[in-house]
Amino acid sequence: MNDLSLTVPPLAAALIAENFRAGTDGLEIGGLPVRSLVSRYGSPLYLYDAAILRRRYRALAATLEGFASVYFSIKANPNPGIARVLVEEGAGLEIASGAEFILARQAGCAPEHVLFAGPGKGREEIDLVLAAGIGEVHLEGFDDIALVGTRAAALGRIQPVSLRINPGAQAQGGAMRMGGKPSAFGIDEEQMAEAVAALKQQPALKLTGIHLFAGTQILDAGVLLDQWRYGLELAARLAGLAGHALTSIDLGGGLGIPYHAGDATLDLAAIRSGLPALRAALEADPRLREARLLVEPGRWLAGPAGLYVGALRAVKQSRGQRFLISDGGMHHHLAASGNLGQVIKRDYPIVAPDRLTAPLLADTQLVGPLCTPLDTLGRQTALPELAAGDLVAVLQSGAYGLSASPVGFLSHPMPAEVLVENGRSEVIRPAGTFQAPLVNARGEGSFWAAAAE
Ligand SMILES: *Cc1c(COP(=O)(O)O)cnc(C)c1O
């Protein structure tokens, strides 16, 4: 089968050409047919290809070489099996909870390569990460400054911290779409001097840096570069207020990936060509010259590496509308159902792994098994003629998938998560009930096989 003869929609075709393969046994991930993985591990199923994660990490690290290092925002996919691949490649991890710190350690990340952001940190979380020697804690408000300062003092540690700044209205100009609004995240730019004064009251805290992160799913390199440039301006002002040099500048995540027909692909070459100007601004400022810069994307690194696969249970027509009813749905993939905060519900790229060359029928609805009309993964989806038992796969599903979904709703089984690389597959989360994993005697992930034993 030749990729060029696929009849899938253009975005799906481009993604398959970039990351997957259409073989004689249908769609392949990491050299293995999706169909064979479903036979082995059951459906629904999350599949990830480690090689895609590695490629993306390396591409971004090469783009930012000499400018910034790459951290992975673990909330995008908190399975330690995913983070481990990126940590092996050299990524640090950005966490936003104490439990994510435990996952980061399970992924093999050294505590000094972890940074902790998040607006409502608890005392127990702070104690856990401080005692373990976390690299940086990013402070998001005055209570955060007081809490981390008190706990660091109690634990006898001098803790490096950054201030997360919520940019002011002046950052609104041009292509910039950040800040200026009230926010639970970070300290308002207007309060930066007050925050520095509060930090100076905490002898156990050492202000080493600044953290900026205002938006997600940015597809325009110019917008990112503008935000980063503004971040460097704020860093210079913060260093001025602090009266000393900064050693850490976190420019945030937010790098986007295409999900919908017509979405752009973030242009890494355009980012690269904007970096010398930023580098020059840093070099010109003695208080920023020595700073280590980092970015902390989640979606961009992990999103394209994952597929969410379901098997059809029924196909029906209702008043002229074709419905495909899958065993997979919003309970595992809320984002693909358009219910994870999206303003406009648009389809993710969806294909039928076994029927990549069959003619498409337009305006199909792909729904899940839940008793709610919210459980719709495809609204006006072009999919071929399909029957019960056939597979459907949602592309771009490696970030904000399972962990961002209402997995307990309706008590369908939790899907297995399987990591593949170069023709090998490994269960990184066995299938189970919402409450507990179920593993069958063969140690594999098929829920119903395990339940029957
Ligand atoms: C969620 C989050 C990220 C990652 O965002 P993406 O859009 O997935 O890149 C990075 N930093 C912080 C502080 C976050 O909360």
Give me the mean pLDDT over the 105-128 stretch.
97
Which of 124-138, 165-179, 436-450 tops mean pLDDT? 124-138
Write out the two tokens for 378. Answer: 């495809």
Indicate if ligand 1 lies below 6 Å from the C-beta of 186: no
Closest CA to 269 of 311, 319, 221: 221
Write out the two tokens for 194. Answer: 């007050």
Q: Which atom of ligand 1 is nearest to the CA of 216?
A: 7
Indicate if ligand 1 lies below 6 Å from the C-beta of 253: yes
Residue with tokens 């979904």: 405
- Phi first, then psi, for residue 250 (nearest 5°) are -105, 115
- Phi first, then psi, for residue 400 (nearest 5°) are 55, 40
Say how many Å lie between the CA of residue 28 and the centre of ligand 1.
29
The gap from C-alpha 78 to its chain's centroid, in whole angstroms, comes to 9
Give the Cα separation of 130 and 109 in Å (integer): 15
Task: Give residue-wise pLDDT tens across range 76-85.
Answer: 999 999 999 9
Fill in the amino acid letter for 76.
A
Express the helix, strand and coil content of the chain in percent, nearest 5 each.
Answer: 35, 25, 40
Q: Return the SS3 of 348.
A: coil
Write out the two tokens for 118. Answer: 């998040």
CA distances from 215 to 181, 191, 218, 235 (A): 12, 20, 7, 18
Fill in the amino acid letter for 439.
V
Q: Return the SS3 of 314.
A: strand
Q: Which atom of ligand 1 is nearest to the CA of 400?
A: 8
Q: Which atom of ligand 1 is nearest to the CA of 303?
A: 8
Indicate if ligand 1 lies below 6 Å from the C-beta of 301: no
> Is-above-0.85 flag for pTM?
yes
Indicate if ligand 1 lies below 6 Å from the C-beta of 118: no
Task: Give residue-wise pLDDT tens across range 143-200.
Answer: 999 999 999 999 999 999 999 999 986 655 444 555 678 889 999 999 999 999 999 9
Give me the mean pLDDT over the 272-298 stretch.
97
Q: Return the SS3 of 83.
A: helix
Indicate if ligand 1 lies below 6 Å from the C-beta of 252: yes
Domains in the chain (CATH in brackets) are: 10-49+304-429 (2.40.37.10), 110-297 (3.20.20.10)
Give me the mean pLDDT over the 295-320 stretch.
98
Indicate if ligand 1 lies below 6 Å from the C-beta of 444: no
Indicate if ligand 1 lies below 6 Å from the C-beta of 256: no
